[in-house]
Structure 1
């Protein structure tokens, strides 16, 4: 992952660079459709922009007997790439889209998705969220079969693997469901895929359900009983903006098929040795938009409960509770509700700084956080405060924030983190820094508090996080429920294979 010109130094220090967003849409009824499918996909990608800001792309098909896809992709934000004219030129009855942060491959235009190939069985377009746990072994297999690869992206690797004829399985020509099942046998995680061929889209989620994927139904804005299409998306947060209703998550191991007639389950692949599901728990903590729905519950509500659990575990006397905007705000409200300590805003975030340029001036770079945040002095002066954040990665940003608050008159600043300490790399689609870079591996809580100038510091426990996630889950007593905590505990769903 390279430092992007759209990201400030302080943001790079603080952020986890995460995965990607995938989106697909099929218009219902007779084709050609009156539904602006490309416009729907563009709006869907805008809603998923937080999942990837390096590149974006859309591939469109007119369906039926058409064998060519219309494709536009490139580096940059969705709004920069897709003008009104660009979207209008992407005509079609179905299509898929992608927003990207780089993980396994570099930040270059050649790695932009969706990937499109022309196989013996027709054109195929693939968009991928995640990172293959056994990409090295799968890559060697594909190369040994005589297939050349133009990138180091495991997303291209998936595309090529789908087109290969399995050596030990008889597949009848363009039987894409059989090819997808064979791919899923080769690698169990981590991926959510949208795959488009001529007149249909497949939504695919790995057997562990590590990465999110959900289905929505588009209804007419003038006739609420009239169906206009089906969508599949990494998150449900954009459904309202396109007039769609959240239906359900794609199940772990499920292949769903979306056509003009609706959606159906093609098959569901089980996990080896009856292992539990392993949905990424950090989706709740950090990655997802708060208005998305996962596992039948709103992400915002889980973050609120994280704050409640944090208050129960690590309360300290204080006059006010606040947050680093906006990442810790939901948890801060939960903390405030549980303790009856009032929530008060103490930081103003300048939204016009940080994603426009990297300031080369050494003086302005040293100002760092002061360029991005302003302290609301009247709310801070003379106060003992608890400041909530969602995570601490390298620990480079919190110190300047605390200094900013002390300069504004805060008498005590106690840091509470609404997630457990990050101690391990991910290897499944989240670009977490190396273990040596993670501050929790170098300092105890007391040492870190002293390092950043806080009066105290405490994290939410792993047990507290699990409780916050599971507490209101509709099927919380199911034996199928399980979450990946590898970055927190080092316990991976499967052994990493090279």
Structure 2
């Protein structure tokens, strides 16, 4: 998962404009994508000057203080990151992104969402070239590949090569060397690059932030700044959606605007379908449609595929609520809440180990007993991954297909043994969880829901469903 962010001030912005508080708000909006650590790196726009760095373990609200945000007050651009770890040491402070590297072209900062399939080959190649790594994360590896490419290109161009913030050629070469899975924001001293892998596996969107205040040129219609983020839910009020970064696209964001500067040869589109099912916030937009609408459609199709005679429909809060409303609308069975969610307990799925996930679940829900007594209930959840959440509750309809296969592209599911549906059929799962029955949405139903209102040409739509059917976008070295 992970949440990544980049903001660049426009040349029209007032001198007093500070993007640091805005960046913290944006990372807060992306908190659901990672709770282990958070970091912000800012540049003042001067070559050979230092980057300001603020990092820490924990939630966004715990990492940033007024004092630390103040250190970023002169920044003309920032990159940020919320971490959900799949690869790398869990608690080491040097694993907290964004990574800052000194290169032959000056400082760069790298924030990465995803996980490199077959990363061991790239890691071995870097180490054999004489470059040391301080962590075992894919994100640092990407930064070192970029740095090495910069050095090679400068050497080829001779001593008189003029160093600038433009590293587009080096980033294009890096993209050609690593296939899957990544969305990146890379900052030099005066600009940010937004990059998405050629399969479009992880999300990345760009917006223009407008202000009603009078700016330098007196034109209120000029953007105050430009933003790139994992999800549109991070966009501040007053942001106009610009575009999603296309699969295999390299975009430059500077004080003068947003410019697409390179496009890889397209691969079969493999956008992670679980962004719709669980990961993304319901108000985010992908492929021209809002996540909430897709989840509601999943619930409607689930009601058609797996009807049951009950008194009420209820939800496992919160990511299953939209599917529950869809199920209720389609089945004409009234919706009634039966579980109360403790909002101070984070998402159990993204806890770094199974013991912590199970502990989080026990603190997560309370039962609204008056709504349960003498009722036949169909309880809707978005998915069952490991079965931790479901052991606490009870007659189930799941608004996604069964997860039977590991993910190697940025989700912490590394073994079939972790997946309850990989080892048990529906009846065995029901018995294991103490439910009267368990039924899943079909893969065809999920794909139908996702594609129904997508605002893209049919040939531009494609999703990774490897965790559901075992068919990965590229071959995996096990």
Compute the TM-score of the two structures, normalised by the length of structure 2: 0.91
1:373 aligned to 2:365? yes
> What is the CA-CA distance between 1:450 and the residue it aligns to?
1.8
> What is the CA-CA distance between 1:426 and the residue it aligns to?
0.7
Secondary structure of the residue aligned to 2:305 is: helix
Q: Which of residues 174, 186, 189 is equivalent to 1:183?
A: 174
1:263 aligned to 2:243? no
5+ residue gaps, structure 1, are 1-18, 403-413
Higher relative contact order (CA 8 A, sep 6+): 1
Secondary structure of the residue aligned to 1:431 is: coil
**Residue of structure 2 equivalent to 1:232:** 228
1:149 aligned to 2:133? yes
Q: 1:343 to 1:199 in 2, by over 3 A?
A: same
**Residue of structure 1 equivalent to 2:458:** 478
1:441 aligned to 2:441? no
Q: 1:318 to 1:253 in 2, by over 3 A?
A: same
**Residue of structure 2 equivalent to 1:246:** 241
Q: Which of residues 127, 130, 149 is equivalent to 1:165?
A: 149
CA contact (8 A) 2:358 2:388 kept: no
**Residue of structure 1 equivalent to 2:113:** 129
1:214 aligned to 2:214? no
CA contact (8 A) 1:350 1:372 kept: yes
Q: Which of residues 327, 336, 342 is equivalent to 1:344?
A: 336
2:464, 2:290 → 1: CA distance?
Answer: 19
Deviation readout 1:458-497 (Å, 9 max, x if unpaired)? 011111110000011112x521211000111111111124
Q: 1:167 to 1:48 in 2, by over 3 A?
A: closer
Q: 1:89 to 1:216 in 2, by over 3 A?
A: same
> What is the CA-CA distance between 1:66 and the residue it aligns to?
4.9
Q: Which of residues 47, 55, 67 is equivalent to 2:29?
A: 47
1:446, 1:36 → 2: CA distance?
Answer: 57
Secondary structure of the residue aligned to 1:441 is: helix
Deviation readout 1:277-298 (Å, 9 max, x if unpaired)? 0000000001000010011110
Q: Which of residues 326, 337, 355 is equivalent to 1:334?
A: 326
Secondary structure of the residue aligned to 2:396 is: strand
**Residue of structure 1 equivalent to 2:189:** 198
**Residue of structure 2 equivalent to 1:14:** none
Secondary structure of the residue aligned to 1:474 is: coil
Secondary structure of the residue aligned to 1:494 is: coil
Bigger mean CA offset, 482-491 vs 31-40: 31-40
1:466, 1:267 → 2: CA distance?
Answer: 30
Compute the TM-score of the two structures, normalised by the length of structure 1: 0.87
CA contact (8 A) 1:27 1:33 kept: no
**Residue of structure 1 equivalent to 2:437:** 456
1:106 aligned to 2:89? yes
**Residue of structure 2 equivalent to 1:310:** 302
CA contact (8 A) 2:382 2:399 kept: yes
* Runs of 4+ residues over 4 Å off in structure 1: 166-175, 353-356, 365-371
Q: 1:367 to 1:478 in 2, by over 3 A?
A: closer
5+ residue gaps, structure 2, are 215-219
> What is the CA-CA distance between 1:31 and the residue it aligns to?
7.6
Bigger mean CA offset, 461-470 vs 173-182: 173-182
1:287, 1:354 → 2: CA distance?
Answer: 13
> What is the CA-CA distance between 1:373 and the residue it aligns to?
2.2
CA contact (8 A) 2:103 2:151 kept: no
Q: 1:196 to 1:246 in 2, by over 3 A?
A: same
Deviation readout 1:55-112 (Å, 9 max, x if unpaired)? 1111100114353211111211111111122111212111101110111112121101
> What is the CA-CA distance between 1:353 and the residue it aligns to?
4.8
1:30, 1:198 → 2: CA distance?
Answer: 19
Secondary structure of the residue aligned to 2:61 is: helix
Q: 1:154 to 1:315 in 2, by over 3 A?
A: same
1:467 aligned to 2:463? no
Q: 1:25 to 1:301 in 2, by over 3 A?
A: same
1:443, 1:208 → 2: CA distance?
Answer: 32
CA contact (8 A) 1:73 1:112 kept: yes
CA contact (8 A) 2:99 2:139 kept: yes
Q: Which of residues 448, 457, 467 is equivalent to 1:487?
A: 467
**Residue of structure 2 equivalent to 1:11:** none
